[in-house]
Amino acid sequence: MKIENIELYKSITIETKEIFFDEKKEILFLGRSNAGKSSLLNILFNKKNFVKTSSKPGSTRTVNLFTVNNKFYFTDLPGYWFAKLWIIARDKIDALISWYVEERKPNIKKAFIIIDSKLWAQKRDLDMYLYLKNLNIPLVIINNKVDKLSKNEALKSIDSAYQIFFWEKILNFSTITKEWFKEFEAIIDESFKK
Ligand SMILES: Nc1nc2c(ncn2[C@@H]2O[C@H](COP(=O)(O)OP(=O)(O)OP(=O)(O)O)[C@@H](O)[C@H]2O)c(=O)[nH]1
Ligand SMILES: [Mg+2]
């Protein structure tokens, strides 16, 4: 898909009264804080700082929907585990994520779980994986930041991810080198065909 038009459609918080009812097909970008969700969207949109990113975890605190080509939603979600947040704030973010996912479930054609390959998959990632699986949401794991690893470490990291996520579809990725970008785009195209 050639991305020609991108607009920030809306930002949703736990205080938002109602999630709209709209038939557009949607893909989600989920992951622990700092894994690279917002960076990945910038790469796809081919823009430098359109989606706010930060080296400090916790930069995305709302669910941000971007309309792509007036036809699809690409949705950036807050990180589901940000240890430095107060427990109440953390619970609020987790509640926002699950409320959003469950409301929009019929329209979600793919959820990308982005993990930081250097930190390996953690229990929270597995919890999210099992949660989405239970909801029957199609998903792909993105093993991001492999530019930080040697070739050998990258192989080990994806191997361990396969074992943790029950041989689910996993793609190595780096938003810096953009290696595997073609494969990533192909997954997106295929998601919207359904
Ligand atoms: N080395 C490397 N750094 C990356 C990569 N992708 C993202 N980063 C960096 O990781 C940091 C976090 O990226 P974000 O895209 O803001 O992460 P996020 O998952 O949206 O984080 P939250 O909004 O806090 O949940 C930034 O400093 C990025 O530049 C990558 O592939 N390789
Ligand atoms: Mg973000």
Is it the case that residue 90 has pLDDT exceeding 80? Answer: no
Q: What tokens were used for 131?
A: 């949660």
The ligand 1 site (C-beta within 6 Å) comprises: 31, 33-39, 53-55, 57-60, 78-79, 144-145, 147-148, 174-176
Q: Atom 32 of ligand 1 has which residue's CA nearest to it?
A: 145
Give mean pLDDT, residues 108-121: 95
Give mean pLDDT, residues 25-46: 95
Ligand 2 center from residue 34 Cα (angstroms): 7
**Nearest ligand 1 atom, CA 54:** 16
What ligand is nearest to the CA atom of residue 59? 1
- pTM as predicted: 0.94
CATH class of the region 6-193: alpha beta
Cα(91)–Cα(3) distance, integer angstroms? 35
* Per-residue pLDDT, 83: 60
